[in-house]
Amino acid sequence: MIKVKIKVIGPFIYEAGFSEKEFELEKPSTAGQLLSLVNIQENRPKIMTRNGKAISPNEELEDGDRIAICPIYSGG
Amino acid sequence: MNGWTGNLLRINLSTESVKKESFTEEFAKTWIGGRGFALKILWDELKPGIDALGPENKLVVALGPIAGIPAPNTGKTVVAAKSPLTGGYGDGNLGTRVTVELRKAGYDGLIIEGQARSPVYLNIINDRVEILPAGEIWGKGTYETMNWLYKKYGKAAGILTIGQGGENKVLYAVIRSLEGRAGGRPGIGAVMGSKNLKAIVVKGSNDIPMADPPGMKKLGAEDLRKVGEIDKKTGWSVQGTTGVLSWCNEVAALPVRNMRKTSHQDAWKIDGERLNNARVATYGCPNCTMRCGIAIHDHEGRESELDYENVGMLGSNLEIFDLPQVASLNYLCDDYGLDTISAGAVLGFYADAIDRRAIEGNFKFGDAERAKELLRMTAYREGVGDFLAEGTMRMAQKIGQDTMDYAMQVKGLECSAYNCKFIPGMALAFATSPIGAHHKESWVIMFEITQTSRESYGPEKAQKVIELQRIRGGIFEFIVACRFPWIELGWDLQHYADYFNKITGMNWTLADLFKVSDRIYALMKFFWLREFPNWDRTRDYPPKAWFDPSNADKEGPIAGKILEWDKYEKLLDSFYDIRGWDKRGIPTKKTALGLGLDKEAAEVEKYAKLE
């Protein structure tokens, strides 16, 4: 099992129901699999980062990772 | 002419002459409006080398053919002048009822010349223009001033005003309107103050000329409704622009401690969620259905309208993680009429210089109460405020040593709230912004971090910066509309071409509009070149601190990483190549002629050679 923290950013927190939460996952788990555990509509454009760096959905997660899920911002 | 009123109003405050002037269809179709109009007027009418705070400078208020009509986010106005902060072309863009009223009064712009002998304000009602004594409001903040004017002229009046900052010619004084709208970062408010002009009041009652009034009215109303629906669905305006603060903190792009650091464990205390939780009111510009003005009560209990830039620069950049205190600093900037971005950068630089013992002084990061006092002193140029009023570039010039390295500015204008010590494309965006460092022109951070690679300096980044400049710094600044529906809600850019065509009766493509963007960017560079004939590419460099290895983060996603000069030079070369500019960053003769700038090229060659 691995423990990862999810940080939800922006108005996604109102869909997801939380802004920061720890998840326990089976090993191996991917970012995409983690995303499916969070209640954010699939068709909403979003980006994910892992420990501050871009990540693709099929990337494998490690114990202690911090995953951020964010809407597409364009800098106002 | 449909779309344009065809008229500009020229007011000379020295002679008190008022003239309604018409412009040609050629002028309209070459420059369109907003930034295009303002730039061309200032280029034609200002002599190089004039004192930006003297009577020879001109304040231009400029609108465009879709400004003021009921359609998504058309309540914005461009204000422009030669900048006293940078010495080059300067402008800003703010939401105001003046947009709607000035167009209904029958004008697409104002040109304000000269200098009144004593403080005045303008009252414009259609064809009637009064220059009135402003003795009762001179010396007052923007809130009290607007209330006084609303009482006199009604709440529907369009008002532009300055605070004590503009009156005392703080070099980053802005022009203010409505509850919390402000524009003109490079000291356009100081230019207004230098003319002894306290406020402009406008009311109009004509129809805005357009090719298909019932068709446009129907389309505009439908689209306003649709944009509002997208906002409701996505929830964007629940946190507004401040939603991005958490992401910047996550990816090490947050301005912290005069941009020494890129994230902070207390950043959550001033994030979008906290802001929304503290919301007491929501404000927006005319013709907006996704209002971004989230107001909270500040530390003193006053309503203060916050967005990301205010929170980033007056909050995290100063290590003040108390949202009501950040709101107080924001309120003071709005009341005094100071640019919040530059104010935050100036205070950050001041605290940093003291911390590094480059100068003596009384201000530490995190000290909100002292920051309030310093803002007051700056607005009145009192004591050290006189020094702070000059902006980071002049402060660093005065102090000397190596302080210019961490004066976070480009061309004299302070960087907005993105720490680019390891974001090459965004550093390029700041460096090549045509008014000095501003994210308004181009914002490429998410593209860089997620669609290409953060460490790349490849030409795809220069291409992206230019693509966004053409839209953000181009189309939205000359057509004049707020870019937020497009930028934040994905409202197709084609809509704006459609509005333009429906209103003017023309049949332009986006490519036609992009050409105008390129023309404007080239002429803005010529404006700078004429003021600084020894121009070189170093003026398109980001702040040195972003290249200093000792300034790299010690931990986190970009630990040990920093911008590299030789790679940046290549990226800058890519930018110049794509734009058809030479190695100095100046449009070549071929590029200029291709954009129809024959006369302008000939004029600038009296001062410096074109390649």
DSSP state of B470: I
What the block records as the tokens of B188 is 């356009």
Q: Smallest Cβ distance to A75: which of B272, B445, B449?
A: B445
Q: What are phi and psi of B121, to 5 degrees?
A: -135, 160
What the block records as the tokens of B489 is 């809600």
Instruction: Name residue B434's beta-bridge partners.
Output: B436
What the block records as the tokens of B482 is 């707020």
Tell which of B181, B203, B225 closes a domain.
Answer: B203
Chain center to CA of B414 = 11
B553 in the same domain as B429: yes
Within a domain: residue B229? no
CA distance A49 to chain B (A): 8
Whole-angstrom distance, CA of residue B256 vs CA of residue B352: 11
Give the structural domain span for A63. Answer: 2-71
Q: For chain B, what percent of residues have pLDDT higher than 90?
A: 99
Q: What is the CATH number of the domain that holds B309?
A: 1.10.569.10
Length of chain B equals: 611
B66 in the same domain as B120: yes
Q: What ipTM goes with this model?
A: 0.97
Within a domain: residue B216? no
Give the structural domain span for B71. Answer: 7-203
Task: Give the pLDDT band (50/70/90) at residue A42.
Answer: confident
B307 interaction partners in chain A (CB closer than 8 Å): 76
Instruction: Name residue B279's beta-bridge partners.
Output: B296
> What's the one-letter identity of residue B84?
P
Q: Which residues contact B493 (CB under 8 A, 6 or more apart)?
A: B471, B475, B486, B510
Task: Give the pLDDT band (50/70/90) at residue B447.
Answer: very high
* Residue B42: CA count within 13 A, CB half-sphere: 35
Do the Cβ atoms of B67 and B94 come closer than 8 Å?
no
Task: Give the pLDDT band (50/70/90) at residue B341.
Answer: very high
- Give SS3 for B311: helix
Task: Please compute the mean of the pLDDT values over residues B343-359 and round it to a whole number.
Answer: 98
Q: What is the CATH number of the domain that holds A13?
A: 3.10.20.30
B247 in the same domain as B384: yes
Q: Do A71 and B446 touch (CB under 8 A)?
A: no
Comparing A23-27, B317-321, B546-550, the range with the smallest average pLDDT is: A23-27
B348 in the same domain as B493: no
Within a domain: residue B128? yes
Do the Cβ atoms of B120 and B18 come closer than 8 Å?
no
Task: Give the pLDDT band (50/70/90) at residue A43.
Answer: confident
Within a domain: residue A40? yes
Whole-angstrom distance, CA of residue B68 vs CA of residue B2: 14
Per-residue pLDDT at B532: 98
Task: Give the pLDDT band (50/70/90) at residue B228.
Answer: very high
Within a domain: residue A28? yes
CA dihedral (B350, B353, B354, B355) in degrees, to 10, reads 120
A7 interaction partners in chain B (CB closer than 8 Å): 246, 250
Task: Please compute the mean of the pLDDT values over residues B326-338 and round it to a whole number.
Answer: 98
**Is B484 touching A (CB cutoff 8 A)?**
yes
Angle at B341 between CA B368 and CA B539, to 5 degrees: 135
B176 in the same domain as B186: yes
Average pLDDT in chain B: 97
> What's the one-letter identity of residue A14?
Y
Within a domain: residue B222? no
Q: Do A9 and B484 touch (CB under 8 A)?
A: no
Within a domain: residue B464? yes
Whole-angstrom distance, CA of residue B315 vs CA of residue A50: 26
B540 in the same domain as B495: yes
B246 interaction partners in chain A (CB closer than 8 Å): 7, 9-10, 68, 70
Whole-angstrom distance, CA of residue B366 vs CA of residue B387: 21
B447 in the same domain as B407: no
Within a domain: residue B586? yes
Residue whose pair of structure tokens reads 């002629």 in the numeric block:
B593
Do the Cβ atoms of B482 and B71 come closer than 8 Å?
no
Q: What are phi and psi of A60, to 5 degrees?
A: -80, 140
Whole-angstrom distance, CA of residue B120 vs CA of residue B105: 20
Count how many domains chain B has: 3
B167 in the same domain as B42: yes
**Is B309 touching A (CB cutoff 8 A)?**
yes
Characterise B23 by phi-psi region: left (phi > 0), alpha (psi -120 to 50), beta (else): beta
Above 90 in pLDDT, residue B259?
Answer: yes
Above 90 in pLDDT, residue B200?
Answer: yes
DSSP state of A46: E
Residue whose pair of structure tokens reads 């809407």 in the numeric block:
A71
Q: Which tens digit of pLDDT belongs to each residue from B497-523?
A: 999 999 999 999 999 999 999 999 999
Q: What is the CATH number of the domain that holds B59?
A: 3.60.9.10
B158 in the same domain as B276: no
Q: Taking the CA atoms of chain B, what radius of gyration do you get in angstroms?
A: 22
Q: Do A7 and B273 touch (CB under 8 A)?
A: no
Chain center to CA of B586 = 23
Residue B176's closest CA among B46, B319, B336, B408? B336
What the block records as the tokens of B507 is 């049949």
Q: Smallest Cβ distance to A54: which of B449, B488, B558?
A: B449
Q: Which tens digit of pLDDT belongs to each residue from B167-192?
A: 999 999 999 999 999 999 999 999 99
Q: Which tens digit of pLDDT belongs to each residue from B114-133?
A: 999 999 999 999 999 999 99
Q: Do B251 and A7 touch (CB under 8 A)?
A: no
B461 membership: H or E segment, kind and range? helix B459-468
Task: Please compute the mean of the pLDDT values over residues B404-423 and round it to a whole number.
Answer: 98
What the block records as the tokens of B519 is 């023309």
Per-residue pLDDT at B541: 98
Q: B197-203 and B409-410 as β-strands: parallel, antiparallel, unpaired?
A: unpaired
Task: Give the pLDDT band (50/70/90) at residue B352.
Answer: very high
B154 in the same domain as B62: yes
B445 interaction partners in chain A (CB closer than 8 Å): 75
Tell which of B362, B386, B419 closes a domain.
Answer: B419
Residue whose pair of structure tokens reads 């007491």 in the numeric block:
B280
Do the Cβ atoms of B388 and B347 come closer than 8 Å?
yes
Within a domain: residue A9? yes
Lay out the sheet containing B197-203: strands in order across: B128-133, B120-125, B197-203, B158-161, B175-177, B181-183
Whole-angstrom distance, CA of residue B145 vs CA of residue B148: 5
Length of chain A equals: 76
Whole-angstrom distance, CA of residue B247 vs CA of residue B263: 10
Task: Please compute the mean of the pLDDT values over residues B441-446 and round it to a whole number.
Answer: 96
Count how many domains chain A has: 1
Whole-angstrom distance, CA of residue B76 vs CA of residue B100: 9
Above 90 in pLDDT, residue A76?
Answer: no
Within a domain: residue A42? yes
Do the Cβ atoms of B440 and B473 come closer than 8 Å?
yes
Residue A46's closest CA among B538, B3, B247, B366? B247
Within a domain: residue A76? no
pTM of the model: 0.98
Q: What is the CATH number of the domain that holds B555?
A: 1.10.599.10
Tell which of B393, B419, B445 closes a domain.
Answer: B419
Q: Do B250 and A11 touch (CB under 8 A)?
A: no
Above 90 in pLDDT, residue A75?
Answer: no
Q: Which tens digit of pLDDT belongs to each residue from B268-306?
A: 999 999 999 999 999 999 999 999 999 999 999 999 999
Per-residue pLDDT at B385: 98
